Amino acid sequence: MRSSRHSGPVLAVVVAAALAVTTGIAPAAAHPRPGDKVPVAVGTGGAVATVDADATRVGIEVLRKGGNAVDAAVAAAATLGVTEPFSSGIGGGGFFVYYDAATRTVHTIDGRETAPMTMRSDSFVEGGVPIPFADAVTSGLSVGVPGTPATWQTALDQWGSISLHKALSGATEVARRGFVVDQTFVDQTTANVARFSAFRSSADLFLRRGAPPAVGSVFRNRDLADTYDLLGRKGVGELYTGRLAREIVQTVQRPPVRRHSPLVVRPGLLERADLASYTALLRQPTLVSYRGLDVYGMAPPSSGGSTVGEALNILEALPATTDRTQTLHRYLEASALAFADRNRYVGDPAVVQVPLQELLSDGFAGERACQISATSALTKPVAAGSPDGVYGPCPAPATVGTEGSDGQSTTHLTTADRWGNVVAYTLTIESLGGNGIVVPGRGFLLNNELTDFNFTDTQGGNDPNLPGPGKRPRSSMAPTIVLAEGTPLLALGSPGGSTIITTVLQILVNRLDLGMTLDAAVAAPRATQRNTAAVQAEPGFDRAPLQALGHTFADNPEIGAATAIEFRDDGSVLAVAEPTRRGGGSAGVVERP
């Protein structure tokens, strides 16, 4: 493995004393105590922002000991697998975006789950109709090959400076000694009681004595600690070709359903050969220019980079404005147009022809932007455009179907180090609690990522996101890094299913167009338009001026849970997490100025 710690532009001049961690987060103690969540931190020497105080503390500790941003990202992600097990873990997958300060280049890893080779386009159809979505979620049928362990090892091999064993050590300690349960953990467990109760392994881990843990109690996961020890000693191959692989396949094919469970739990198609053939892929990032900045994102099978990028291109194609209502109106309209194109064209590039270059072209953006009026909102849903390289007058209005379903249970973390390296990493197990099934004796939930496929054709014979053998389902994850003249300015991302795209886009608009500070841009009330008749909006979002333009609204209590880092002119970094959404997040820096 290659260390990138020795070169590249520095974030600030760091002296030895700078390595004293001053995050506002307590160091590991002999007995767990509640973590102090600080949503905003400013400093030098590196930064970590996650949804969880323990994960941020573990990532900061890696930086403090001389690790780089990649090392810290893997360590924090592994800790989230302990403390946020319903959103992430080694049973899932994700997308990893990395800025290498030594070469001033951006790289990405596609750690998306893959379908079994026996999966077909009608695998979620029985008797000519799609199976109930809830049945698909809680099943072996929804499980794709996990990509997270391969992502961690690939990132460390390519750009890290420590071993997987060292990267997992902090998370292993948290799993073994336990962490203090907060209200969010209780709420998420409670939401899954019916599902977890159906499986012996899940109930044994999460419903001890038959009920969710109490707020303030200590939750330990010694099975996961042992699993992390196994991966650290023997490598992630243990999950893809070893004993753990066999146990995953057995769990998928014969789910450990309790007798007399009322749930219909279908067995899955996963075979050991599917696990053995998995690869986390290095892909070229997406890239668009916006307001003189370079915005890098994740290419297909994620639709995050293409849809955020197309929407930014549409916005830049419109005449400049400083009016807040017009800026938000354009944001909603560009989102709808870009989502129409996402739904029609984006899928696994190994299976479908994704016209990515044209989707991100200025010509196509201009053709789409010409449909946006300053005085009235478009009737939704809007039609997909034609990214064919021949662009002219606006096409006639038409209607199409709405977007497919994406899971809501995801997490995002952002890291930076004192050498200038940066990571934006989004990972998931899909729905809240994944497929609901813990691998017996292993301490982690399996994903239900294959429900991100469309169960039936939604595009009149041209659906790019139907299931298929070995196929990666379309994702909305949008880890994003923004460069100014080749050096980092922003790194950000969010969970939230398909609202990930609009959350990232709105934060960028808030920061770059409306001039908000980054912490204000993250905290501001959100609205999401994904080519649907109504805009979903949080309670605090100001709707009246946009209603006057013809937008209609529906309530959404909470949209996204972002983390972000900004690199400031004085050499310091601003780490930001949510102040309240999803229980609030945790930002830390190695040294405060």
- Give 317-351 as a DSSP string: HSPP---HHHHHHHHHHHHHHHHHHHHHH-S-TTT
Check residue 501 and report its DSSP letter.
H
Let me know if 148 is a catalytic residue. Answer: no
| Reported confidence tier of residue 32, pLDDT bands at 50, 70, 90 | low
277 vs 138: CA distance, rounded Å: 25
Q: What are the tens digits of pLDDT across the range 252-292?
A: 999 999 988 999 999 999 999 999 999 999 999 999 999 99
Greatest alpha-carbon span in the chain: 68
Identify the H or E element spanning 12.
none
Mean pLDDT to the nearest integer, 504-528: 98
Specify whether the CB–CB gap between 52 and 375 falls below 8 A. Answer: no
When pLDDT is averaged across residues 113-122 and rounded to a whole number, the result is 98
3-state secondary structure of 316: helix
CA–CA dist 417, 579 (Å, integer): 23
Contact between residue 531 and residue 340 where contact means Cβ atoms under 8 Å apart: yes
Q: Please report, as a single letter, which amino acid is at residue 502.
A: T
Nearest to residue 473, comparing CAs of 488, 493, 489, 452? 452
**Which tens digits make up the pLDDT trace of 157-211?**
999 999 999 999 999 999 999 999 999 999 999 999 999 999 999 999 999 889 9
Dist CA 426 CA 60 (whole Å): 18
Q: How many CB atoms lie within 10 A of CB 22?
A: 16
pLDDT (0 to 100) of residue 460: 82
Beta bridge partners of 179: 219
Q: Is 221 helix (H, G, I), strand (E, B) or coil?
A: coil
Query: Looking at the predicted structure, is the pLDDT value of residue 14 above 70?
Result: no
Distance CA 70, CA 167 (A): 10
Q: Of residues 410, 414, 426, 451, which has the active-site annotation?
A: 410
Residue 442: which residues within 8 A CB-CB, separation 6 or more? 223, 224, 227, 244, 247
Both tokens of 23, joined, read: 């995050």
Angle (deg, nearest 10), helices 222-234 and 69-83: 150
Strands 553-555, 535-537: parallel, antiparallel or unpaired by DSSP?
parallel
